[in-house]
Structure 1
Amino acid sequence: MAHTIQHLSHDLYPEPGQEHATGVPAPAFHPTVAEEDATVLSNMAVNAQYWHLVIQASPLAAAASPGQFYQLQCPPAHGATPYLRRPMSLYGTDPATGQIQFLYKVTGSGTRGLSTLVPSDTIRILGPLGKGYDLAGHLRHIVVIGRGVGLATLAPLAEAAHIAGIGVTAILSARSPELIVSADRFNMNGMSVIPVTDTQGNSDPAWIEQALRGLISADRCDALFTCGSSRLLHMLRALAVEFDLPGQVALEQQMACGLGMCFCCVRDFASAHGTVTRRVCLDGPVFDIRETLA
């Protein structure tokens, strides 16, 4: 069996310069995913719930696009040793220097372990993984809507849109004003920022829907992008269908391998042929908002 697998692997993935079994020259292999030990540069609390982690990795590991994620091997903490790696959305990256940023909320043993990291510590990472956001098309102005740590993946997307000359309106949702994260990154680039919070009473999907209808009427919403709230996703999906707007959502899902092999992150999606199942880690985590079900 091992011999058969070895020859099958050679036929499918021969060495560069050799030929496939079909006689077609094999293209050079260019890896897009790295597994390596990265060095912690900083790891600081930004408010009562969220932490900002910056690591030094290789240029290959840092060559990520907004919406992609990494699998992090979290260290043990408080007597608990996380067995599985934790998926973490990209918050920022600089391939030239190899620096990668994450924004995370401390909720369980894995993220508690992350919060114990200090500068010069090492952390095992795997990534970048998954499919990120797509800004293709004739977009003039987009709206990003996120809640909580879901804002982490939207900040680099908004910056990429700004660099591409696309206008951005950001609706940032949280329980209270002090828990809104990334507002400074949106404001710094001259984007229109609309903060909404539970304590102020304007974070309800119905209120946000009216704000979005106003933006659509004003021709300031060519596409919708979201992450972080199932309630918002339902409302945004309905608006996208009603106004025939393109939209994308980055889904948050528990994962094990992050590579599409274990099938533990499968979810249902709508298609022209009915309901289909897809793997969030491999087919996403970014999906067409109109195809995404609860």
Structure 2
Amino acid sequence: MSNKPHRDTIFVEEAEILTHEAYQGDQFILRLLAPQCAAQAKPGSFAHIQCAPLKPLRRPISIMRVSVDLGWVDFLYKAVGKGTRLLSQRKLGETISIMGPIGKPFELHAERPRPLLIGGGVGMPPVLFVAESLSENPDYKPFVILGSEVPFPFKPIPSKILIPGIPDGIIASMPLLDDWEIPSRLATLQGFAGCYEGYVTDLARQWLNALDDESLHQVEIFSCGPHPMLETVASLAAEYNLPCQISLEEFMACGVGGCAGCVVEVETKSGLAMKRVCVDGPVFDAKQVFPS
């Protein structure tokens, strides 16, 4: 048996652009028809996308949603460099070469049925994927916190779901999550209406402090976002003695473990080791990446 199980679950597809929506802050949501990727994708996995025909070096972009039945895959990305700016110019009906799904996904644990999902910026997609995977599972009671310093890539709405521990007036939520009956709140330093004025971890702390001991012991944190945010999330998890999984964002060349261009230093049972974000991750135990 192969000791590289990912080899048989990564596909290269010429994916048709079904929708390509622009949002403030140079943010885009791209929906591609990629049935093989959709069928194998799990929360936390990503795809390596060729941004333009004459731009051979691909870009890793996290998977936000999939429809196995209809074969589409959604990506949220921000146009920040030459490659993603070229990608933002691609039109409906064009095809894009994608390779995926890639990477070690998040792992849920039945003994921790209260997942706290924290996403920042373009780190929102993996936690949204986790949330949707739980939307029809009554055994889990997730709570989602999303943060952004540019307008969110959706129109926030006042949530219909009350959440103990959340300050009065903090009612802005993601419409899709409300539709799934999953409680969510938004955090920012930009003064957006209905949002918590502060960091995602500050809002998370208020929620955690409102839990009784039994509920607190049912929490596991799942997070993706900028490196400083993840470091603070890891510290928060350590403060409350909670397990925490984080999805790292890193520059990549090959995306399948061959070039070792995306390695990070992690703590293992045998000491410090260099791990590849693309195939050893992108999801890691927070304690491995940010040992206390």
SS of structure 2 residue aligned to 1:83: coil
Q: Is the aligned partner of 1:250 residue 2:247?
A: yes
Amino acid at match of 2:224: C
Residue 289 of structure 1 and its aligned partner are, at CA, apart by 1.4
Residue 137 of structure 1 and its aligned partner are, at CA, apart by 2.9
Q: Is the aligned partner of 1:171 residue 2:152?
A: no
Is contact 1:209-1:235 (8 Å) kept? no
Residue 61 of structure 1 and its aligned partner are, at CA, apart by 5.2
What CA distance in whole angstroms lies between the structure 1 residues aligned with 2:71 and 2:181? 27
Amino acid at match of 1:88: I
What CA distance in whole angstroms lies between the structure 1 residues aligned with 2:108 and 2:175? 22
Partner in structure 2 of residue 199 of structure 1: 190
Is contact 1:148-1:180 (8 Å) kept? no
Deviation digits for residues 145-199 of structure 1 (CA, Å, limit 9, x no counterpart): 11111111111111112322211111111115x3365822222212222211112
Residue 215 of structure 1 and its aligned partner are, at CA, apart by 4.6
Aligned length: 262
What CA distance in whole angstroms lies between the structure 2 residues aligned with 1:95 and 1:207? 36
**Correspondent of 2:42 among 41, 65, 79:** 65
Is contact 2:147-2:199 (8 Å) kept? no
Amino acid at match of 1:69: F
Partner in structure 2 of residue 22 of structure 1: none
Amino acid at match of 2:179: M
Task: State the identity as a percent.
Answer: 31
Residue 111 of structure 1 and its aligned partner are, at CA, apart by 0.9
Partner in structure 1 of residue 261 of structure 2: 264
Partner in structure 1 of residue 159 of structure 2: none
Is contact 1:71-1:86 (8 Å) kept? yes
Partner in structure 2 of residue 34 of structure 1: 11
Partner in structure 2 of residue 19 of structure 1: none
What CA distance in whole angstroms lies between the structure 2 residues aligned with 1:205 and 1:172? 7
**Correspondent of 1:99 among 55, 61, 72:** 72
Q: Is the aligned partner of 1:143 residue 2:137?
A: no
What CA distance in whole angstroms lies between the structure 1 residues aligned with 2:253 and 2:263? 11
Residue 230 of structure 1 and its aligned partner are, at CA, apart by 2.3
Q: After the TM superposition, which of the residue ranges 230-239 and 281-290 deviates more from structure 2?
A: 230-239
Q: Is the aligned partner of 1:187 residue 2:178?
A: yes
**Correspondent of 1:211 among 186, 206, 225:** 206
Alpha-carbon RMSD across the aligned residues, in angstroms, is 2.4
Amino acid at match of 2:10: V
Task: Output the TM-score relative to the length of structure 2.
Answer: 0.82
Amino acid at match of 2:188: T
Gaps of 5+ in 2: 157-173
Q: Is the aligned partner of 1:51 residue 2:50?
A: no
Partner in structure 2 of residue 25 of structure 1: none
Is contact 1:141-1:168 (8 Å) kept? yes
Larger radius of gyration: 1
Deviation digits for residues 233-268 of structure 1 (CA, Å, limit 9, x no counterpart): 222222323333121111100001111010000001
Residue 102 of structure 1 and its aligned partner are, at CA, apart by 0.7
SS of structure 2 residue aligned to 1:283: coil
Deviation digits for residues 207-237 of structure 1 (CA, Å, limit 9, x no counterpart): 3353243255462561001111323322222
Q: After the TM superposition, which of the residue ranges 226-235 and 249-258 deviates more from structure 2?
A: 226-235
Amino acid at match of 2:182: M
Task: Identify if the C-alpha distance between structure 1 residues 185 and 163 changes in structure 2 by more than 3 Å, giving closer, same or farther.
Answer: same
Task: Output the TM-score relative to the length of structure 1.
Answer: 0.81
Is contact 2:145-2:200 (8 Å) kept? no
SS of structure 1 residue aligned to 2:278: helix
Partner in structure 1 of residue 229 of structure 2: 232
